[in-house]
Chain A
């Protein structure tokens, strides 16, 4: 019981943050938990920073947006600048270590600021297209909002038709999720 976990995911259009939020929310819903997901729609749909607000809990969820996130993940320089206002003293702030010249822009009101090499890992070990799934794994590990297996089921539900045509994609997605979790596990 208690308050829902509040998550902010932000990145450039096309980085897939909305898909991550949606799949996580659906996975939570499948397990009978309460979830509320709202994208920042508006002009961001046409380029610019895309922000997803996600709340997962066990009771009916309040306002769709919130002021302070439990975990805030920013995947580009603009996303860092855009989302640092959602950071409070208890917030876990995660950004990609590949973002350049961002040190001065990072939030200073929490000491839980972590860089993960998600972009690098996706390029070198897997494939750039599963970058967002690495992020999903990271969120799962950092928050425990849904079990890894349930998230995999949710991905399967969403992308199963693609996996059936190309089973390697399934492997790559699941591997990406596990790698994302590992990247966070090393930090926490």
Chain B
């Protein structure tokens, strides 16, 4: 039995891509399938460099379609499997992810968002929110964690394997090019030492015994002959998702109690918004902070409460309203004024958020 990748707790100063590789190792991921695309390449670089010592595996495929489908295959065989991609790779991967939704396969996908549409920039954006939460032909039966710090990148990469295998929905860690490439400190830990038990995996296919004799045959479908058959299956899935949603949904909030204006953001942009809210509070502005950590499912009840109290909601994102659309769907009926600071494909600083709030408040 190879030794554990992380023993005890260790403060480190590394890039986000390195964090993901370590977290997947710590989570007991057995195999990564991948195809290179900036800015997530180093996840597979670090993974392949580290795994020989720990008996884990890697397969480089010919494209992202294949990387997605082989991840599906790994999960069918009962392996804790994952892949990572970005931008146009995320677009291609929606096909296998849709199959994972259809078969309730707990694949884990790490996305480091880059600029779009198309090849655009290799640098950064928050423009893969719609694609990651609702991509594919289907109903978005998936979980998406949007991380903001390297510590969260570590925590939620580990957690994503457990969410995926517990609820059997494809699960995403949604980062971005900044998080991928920047260095900051965090603490590595072994999940078991923190009392985090990894949800056991099991094989969907290839189980021992003769099907129909020793065990019931396993019948996995992503194709149906009749409308009603599909409808019935989906009703079950949708009910499962609705039941799981409140257990899965996470958010972070402060200073919303007496706030006239609440700033809503996610991911790395929430760092700028957090600083902005603190600064603005010091200057006497009644502003609050709300951040969905899960973009799918959204923290609906908590967001509705905030929207019910605040007069204005300011959505800040490095995209043209992809988060805002998710927010509006949740708070439908709220009379709060919707305001925005959208900078598609570009980073947002706390200075810009402060300036926008001052512009609104006059």
Interface residues, chain A, with chain B CB atoms under 8 Å away: 22, 25-26, 29, 34-39, 41-42, 60-68
Contact = CB atoms under 8 A, between A and B. Distances in A.
Interface in B263-287: 268-269, 271-272, 274-275
Contact of B182 (A26, A37, A42, A68): A37
Contact of B268 (A25, A63, A66): A63
A41 B268 CA distance: 17
A36 B183 CA distance: 6
B271 A41 contact: no
A42 B123 contact: yes
A68 to B, nearest CB: 7
Interface stretch (B44-52, B251-259, B349-357): B349-357
Contacts of A61: 184, 271
B347 A65 contact: yes
A37 B349 CA distance: 15
28 contacts: A29-B11, A29-B13, A35-B13, A35-B183, A36-B182, A37-B182, A38-B182, A39-B181, A41-B38, A41-B123, A41-B177, A41-B181, A42-B121, A42-B122, A60-B149, A61-B184, A61-B271, A62-B275, A63-B268, A63-B269, A63-B275, A63-B347, A63-B349, A64-B178, A64-B182, A65-B178, A65-B349, A67-B352
A39 B183 CA distance: 9
Interface residues of B, number: 27
Contact of B185 (A35, A63, A65): A35
A30 to B, nearest CB: 8
Given A63-B271, A66-B351, A38 B181 contact: yes
B112 to A, nearest CB: 12
Nearest to B180: A41
Contacts of A66: 349-351
B13 A26 contact: yes
Interface centre among B149, B185, B268, B348 (most CB of A within 10 A): B185
A36 B271 CA distance: 12
A64 B268 contact: yes
A41 B122 contact: yes
A36 B15 CA distance: 10
Contacts of A36: 182-184
Task: Give the 4 A-B CB pairs with smallest separation, nearest first.
Answer: A62-B275, A63-B272, A38-B182, A29-B13
A41 B149 CA distance: 19
Contacts of B178: 38, 64-65
Interface string B313-353: 00000000000000000000000000000000001111110
Contact of B349 (A22, A60, A67): A67
